[in-house]
């Protein structure tokens, strides 16, 4: 897997094809990735790769993440499809770890990503995943505000432990979800500063289970 400097040099090469008669600098990469220059300079000093921003960059440019991070050509992706995940990336969706948030729509980008890029994978069974953003801090320290989470819609049994995305009348929520003895549905935050929310069963639809995440840096 490439390091910070190798990843940034590849991005500079991509940007340079669109920039006429000029050298590509770190500030150009920061602007392209939507990262403030002071923060980018700090990440460079730490060698911290901005996975989330590069993921969005690759989706916009229709570039293989596997090529950028692992030097794997498109031909290899075709030959070894089973090693990779197809992810529907909803860049505009923010599932809330606090208040309400938008529901899913049809606007998404399809990206191919190696499992090595994903962190904290749990019980992967389905390779047809969706990726959305976390909005809010109520699931900290497990999920940070701004993280990308990977969602498996085939896993919606809340009797099994885990973190789920639920659609409610207030929007999308990322929570631990428990059915109480009285039939009511409890949405539980990992951040102990947030009290559980209780909803009627007909007010909650389980969208799927969170099976992995990439933290914001």
Boundary-marking domain end, from 14, 48, 71: 71
The burial of 166, by beta-carbon neighbours within 10 Å (0-12 exposed, 13-18 middle, 19 or more buried), is given as: buried
Asked if 2 and 98 sit in the same domain, the reply is no
pTM of the model: 0.55
Asked if 168 and 65 sit in the same domain, the reply is no
pLDDT score for 115: 55
Asked if 98 and 50 sit in the same domain, the reply is no
Q: What would the two tokens of residue 81 be?
A: 């499809």
Q: Is residue 70 a contact partner of residue 116, using CB atoms and an 8 Å limit?
A: yes
Boundary-marking domain end, from 71, 97, 112: 71
pLDDT score for 100: 42
Boundary-marking domain end, from 53, 71, 89: 71
Number of independent structural domains in the chain: 2
Asked if 86 and 48 sit in the same domain, the reply is no
Give pLDDT tens digits along the chain (217 positions): 788 999 899 898 888 876 655 688 999 999 999 999 999 999 999 999 998 899 888 888 878 787 888 776 655 544 544 455 567 766 655 555 544 444 455 566 666 665 555 444 444 555 567 888 888 889 999 988 888 888 888 888 998 889 999 988 888 889 999 999 999 999 999 999 999 999 999 999 998 999 888 775 4
The burial of 95, by beta-carbon neighbours within 10 Å (0-12 exposed, 13-18 middle, 19 or more buried), is given as: buried
Asked if 49 and 101 sit in the same domain, the reply is no
Measure the CA dihedral 186/192/195/199, to 10°.
-20
Asked if 15 and 97 sit in the same domain, the reply is no
Which CATH number does the domain housing residue 1 bear?
1.10.260
Cα→Cα distances 191→22, 100, 102, 137, 153, Å: 48, 17, 22, 7, 25
Asked if 114 and 22 sit in the same domain, the reply is no
Asked if 102 and 208 sit in the same domain, the reply is yes
pLDDT score for 120: 43
Asked if 67 and 84 sit in the same domain, the reply is no
Q: Is residue 121 a contact partner of residue 151, using CB atoms and an 8 Å limit?
A: no
Task: Supply the DSSP string of 118-183, one letter for each residue.
Answer: -BS--S---SEEEEEEEESSTTTTTS-TT-EEEEETT---TTS-SEEEEEETTEEEEEEEEE-TTS
Asked if 146 and 166 sit in the same domain, the reply is yes
Pairing of strands 84-96, 128-135: parallel
Asked if 110 and 176 sit in the same domain, the reply is yes
Determine the Cα–Cα distance for residues 163 and 99; give it in Å rounded to an integer: 16
pLDDT score for 117: 53
Asked if 13 and 47 sit in the same domain, the reply is yes
Domain with 124, as residue range(s), is 80-217
């Amino acid at each position: 897997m490439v390091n910070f400097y190798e990843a940034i040099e590849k991005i500079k090469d991509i940007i340079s094809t669109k920039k006429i008669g000029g050298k590509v600098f770190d500030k150009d990469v920061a602007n392209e990735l939507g990262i403030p220059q002071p923060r980018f300079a700090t990440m460079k000093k730490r060698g911290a790769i901005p996975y989330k921003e590069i993921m969005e960059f690759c989706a916009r440019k229709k570039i293989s993440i596997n090529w950028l991070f692992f030097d794997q050509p498109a031909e290899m992706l075709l030959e070894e499809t089973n090693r990779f995940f197809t992810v529907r990336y909803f860049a505009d969706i923010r599932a809330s770890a606090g208040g309400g948030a938008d529901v899913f729509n049809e606007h998404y980008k399809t990206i191919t990503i190696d499992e090595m890029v994903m962190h904290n994978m749990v019980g992967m069974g389905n390779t047809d995943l969706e990726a959305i953003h976390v909005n809010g801090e109520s699931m900290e320290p497990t999920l940070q505000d701004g993280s990308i989470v990977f969602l498996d819609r085939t896993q919606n049994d809340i009797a099994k432990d885990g973190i789920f995305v639920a659609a409610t009348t207030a929007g999308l929520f990322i929570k631990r979800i428990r059915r109480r003895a009285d039939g009511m549905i409890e949405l539980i935050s990992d951040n102990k500063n947030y009290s559980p929310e209780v909803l009627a069963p007909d007010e909650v639809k389980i969208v799927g289970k969170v099976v992995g995440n990439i933290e914001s840096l």
